[in-house]
Amino acid sequence: MKHIFLALLGLLTLSVQAQNNFKVPKYEKFKLKNGLTVYLMEQHEVPLINVSAVFDAGSIHDGEKYGLASLTADALTFGTQKYTKEQIEEITDYVGANLNTGAGKESANIGMSFAVKDQDKMLDILQQVLMYPVFNETEYAKHKQRTLLELTQQKESPRAVIGNYFNQLVFDKHPYATPSGGTRPTVEKIGTADVKEFYRTNYTTDRAAIAVVGDFNTAAMKKKITSMFGGWKTAPGRMIKRSAPDLSFDKSRVLLVNKGDARETTFLIGGRGVDYNNPDYVPILVVNTILGGRFTSWLNDALRVNSGLTYGAGSRFSRLKHGGTFYISTFTKNSTTVPAIDMALGVLDSLHRTGLNEEILASAKAYVKGDFPPEYESAGALARLLTDMFIYGFDESYINTFQSKVDGLTVAQANDIIKRYFPREHLQFVLIGKADEIRDQVKKYGAVTERDIKEPGF
Amino acid sequence: MMLRRLVLGVLLAVGIHSTYAQSNPNDVKTFTLPNGMKFLVLEDHSIPTANMYLFWKVGARNEVHGITGLSHFFEHMMFNGSRNYGPKQFDRVMEANGGSNNAYTTENVTVYTDWFQKDALETIFKLESDRIANLSIDSAMVESERGVVLSERSTGLENSNYRVISEVVKSVAFQEHPYMFPVIGFESDIKSWTQQDLENYFKTYYSPNNATVVVVGDVTVDQVRRLANQYMAPIPARGLPPKVRTVEPEQNGERRVTTYKDITTPNLMLAYHTPETGHADYYALDLLSSLLTSGNSSRLVKSLVMDTTIAARIFTNFPEGFDPNLFYIYAIAGDGVSAPELEKAILAQLDKVIKEGVTDTELQKVKNQKLMEFYRTMETINGKANSLGTYEVFFGDYRKLYEAPKLYEKVTPADIQRVAAKYFTERNRTVGYLLPEKGK
Q: Each residue of A31-60: pLDDT tens digit? A: 999 999 999 999 998 899 999 999 999 999
Sign for the pseudo-dihedral over CA of A289, A291, A293, A295? positive
CB A156 within 8 A of CB B264: yes
Q: What is the pLDDT of residue A17?
A: 33
Is B429 in the A-facing interface, judged by CB distances under 8 Å? no
When pLDDT is averaged across residues A95-106 and rounded to a whole number, the result is 97
Residues 247-306 of A with CB under 8 A from B: 260-264, 266, 294-296, 301, 304-306
Is A146 in the B-facing interface, judged by CB distances under 8 Å? yes
Question: Range with the lowest mean pLDDT among A325-334, B42-51, B165-174?
Answer: B42-51
Sign for the pseudo-dihedral over CA of A406, A412, A416, A421? positive
- A246 CA: distance to closest CA in chain B (Å): 31
- Residue-averaged pLDDT of chain A: 93
Share of chain B above pLDDT 90, in %: 86
CB atoms within 10 A of CB B84: 15
**pLDDT tens per residue across span B271-321:** 999 999 999 999 999 999 999 999 999 999 999 999 999 999 999 999 999
Of A19, A146, A158, the CB nearest to B158: A158
Is A96 in the B-facing interface, judged by CB distances under 8 Å? yes
- Strand duo A253-258 + A428-433: pairing: parallel
Where do runs of H (alpha helix) occur along A109-217? 119-131, 137-153, 158-171, 184-188, 192-202
When pLDDT is averaged across residues B375-390 and rounded to a whole number, the result is 90
> Do the Cβ atoms of B335 and A15 come within 8 Å?
no
Residue A1 has pLDDT above 50, yes or no: no
Q: What is the pLDDT of residue B126?
A: 97
Q: What is the pLDDT of residue A375?
A: 83
- Residue-averaged pLDDT of chain B: 92
In sequence order, what are the residues at sequence separation of 6 or more whose Cβ sits closer than 8 angstroms to the Cβ of residue B145?
A308, B73, B76, B77, B80
Sign for the pseudo-dihedral over CA of A433, A437, A443, A448? positive
Cα–Cα distance for residue pair B60/B74, rounded to 1 Å? 11
Q: What is the pLDDT of residue B5?
A: 64
Q: What is the pLDDT of residue B405?
A: 77
Give me the half-sphere count of Cα atoms (radius 13 Å) on the Cβ side of residue B123: 26
Of B296, B309, B437, the CB nearest to A93: B296
When pLDDT is averaged across residues A139-163 and rounded to a whole number, the result is 96
- B251 CA: distance to closest CA in chain A (Å): 34
pTM of the model: 0.92
Which CA distances in Å does A46 have to A49, A158, A213, B22?
9, 39, 11, 7
Is B24 in the A-facing interface, judged by CB distances under 8 Å? no
Cα–Cα distance for residue pair A447/A449, rounded to 1 Å? 7
Residues 224-253 of B with CB under 8 A from A: none
CB A254 within 8 A of CB A442: yes
When pLDDT is averaged across residues B20-35 and rounded to a whole number, the result is 84
Is A406 in the B-facing interface, judged by CB distances under 8 Å? no
> Do the Cβ atoms of B96 and A113 come within 8 Å?
no
Is B160 in the A-facing interface, judged by CB distances under 8 Å? yes
When pLDDT is averaged across residues A132-155 and rounded to a whole number, the result is 97
> Taking CB atoms and an 8 Å cutoff, what residues of chain B touch A379?
379
A432 DSSP β-pair partners: A257, A266
Of B86, B144, B161, the CB nearest to A305: B144
When pLDDT is averaged across residues A310-314 and rounded to a whole number, the result is 95
Backbone angles phi, psi at A45, to 5 degrees: -65, -40
For residue B23, what pLDDT band results from cuts at 50, 70 and 90? confident
Residues 309-328 of A with CB under 8 A from B: 309-312
When pLDDT is averaged across residues A371-397 and rounded to a whole number, the result is 91
> Do the Cβ atoms of A308 and B147 come within 8 Å?
yes
> Do the Cβ atoms of A150 and B312 come within 8 Å?
yes
**pLDDT tens per residue across span A403-433:** 999 999 999 999 999 999 999 999 999 999 9
For residue B377, what pLDDT band results from cuts at 50, 70 and 90? confident
For residue B15, what pLDDT band results from cuts at 50, 70 and 90? very low
Is A454 in the B-facing interface, judged by CB distances under 8 Å? no
When pLDDT is averaged across residues A289-303 and rounded to a whole number, the result is 96
Write the burial class of residue B332 (CB in 10 Å: 0-12 exposed, 13-18 middle, 19+ buried).
buried
For residue B22, what pLDDT band results from cuts at 50, 70 and 90? low
Q: What is the pLDDT of residue A9?
A: 32
Which amino acid is it at B301? V
- B423 CA: distance to closest CA in chain A (Å): 26
**pLDDT tens per residue across span A181-194:** 999 999 999 999 99
CB atoms within 10 A of CB B341: 15
B105 DSSP β-pair partners: B2, B110
Residue A16 has pLDDT above 90, yes or no: no
Of A9, A157, A367, the CB nearest to B100: A367
Is A456 in the B-facing interface, judged by CB distances under 8 Å? no
Q: What is the pLDDT of residue B332?
A: 98
Q: What is the pLDDT of residue B272?
A: 98
Of B143, B261, B375, the CB nearest to A47: B375
Of A48, A89, A377, the CB nearest to B296: A89
When pLDDT is averaged across residues A271-291 and rounded to a whole number, the result is 97
Which CA distances in Å does A189 have to A141, A162, A182?
12, 24, 11
Q: What is the pLDDT of residue B283?
A: 96
For residue A152, what pLDDT band results from cuts at 50, 70 and 90? very high
> Taking CB atoms and an 8 Å cutoff, what residues of chain B touch A78?
none
For residue B68, what pLDDT band results from cuts at 50, 70 and 90? very high
DSSP B305: I
Residue B7 has pLDDT above 60, yes or no: no
CB B391 within 8 A of CB B397: yes
Of B120, B155, B437, the CB nearest to A331: B155
B326 DSSP β-pair partners: B273
Residue B165 has pLDDT above 70, yes or no: yes
Residues 281-300 of B with CB under 8 A from A: 294-298
Q: What is the pLDDT of residue B6?
A: 55
Q: What is the pLDDT of residue A45?
A: 81
Q: What is the pLDDT of residue A411?
A: 98
Helix (H, G, I), strand (E, B) or coil at B157: helix
Share of chain A above pLDDT 70, in %: 95
Residues 357-376 of A with CB under 8 A from B: 362-363, 366-367, 369-371, 373-374
Is B3 in the A-facing interface, judged by CB distances under 8 Å? no
For residue A6, what pLDDT band results from cuts at 50, 70 and 90? very low
Cα–Cα distance for residue pair A286/B223, rounded to 1 Å? 31
Residue A5 has pLDDT above 50, yes or no: no
Question: Range with the lowest mean pLDDT among A418-432, B16-30, B219-233, B327-341?
Answer: B16-30
